Amino acid sequence: MARYRKLPVEIEAFQYHTGDADEAVFANWPDWAKAMLKHNVGGMVVARSNPKQRVIEAFPEHLVVHTLEGPMFAWDGDWIIKGVAGEIYPIKEKIFAETYEKVEAGD
């Protein structure tokens, strides 16, 4: 069986914490995530990155991220990633720590 190594790519990400659905906390989200925020419906914030189904629903205890593979849940401590093609998806904290390292300015 052939083996493969992940190519080194840079992504943008932020760590989600319970309570981030509070609009005051959205100020700490990166610009690309804040730009997706459109409106608040019945205590649920709906965020769209494009009209083709990239949606994040923020509830008090979790996020629902609608990806090309279907809905995925993000819980306290999970990371939200913007991939190389602009795709948005959640990843568990442990997997994020084992897969990514912070890139310092100028790297």
Tens of pLDDT, residues 51-92: 444 556 666 677 777 777 877 888 889 998 888 888 888 999
105, pLDDT greater than 50: yes
Answer whether residue 48 is part of any domain: yes
Domain count across the chain = 1
How far apart CA 32 and CA 43 sit, in angstroms, is 22
How far apart CA 71 and CA 62 sit, in angstroms, is 12
Answer whether residue 6 is part of any domain: no
Question: What is the layout of strands, in order, in the sheet containing 88-91?
Answer: 12-15, 79-82, 88-91
Question: What is the pLDDT of the chain when averaged over all its residues?
Answer: 74
Residue 43 lies in domain? 12-99
| Confidence (pLDDT) at 100 | 92
Query: What tokens were used for 43?
Result: 């205590």
Answer whether residue 1 is part of any domain: no
The model's pTM is 0.71
Answer whether residue 105 is part of any domain: no
Q: Would you give the distance in Å from CA 74 to the centre of its chain?
A: 8
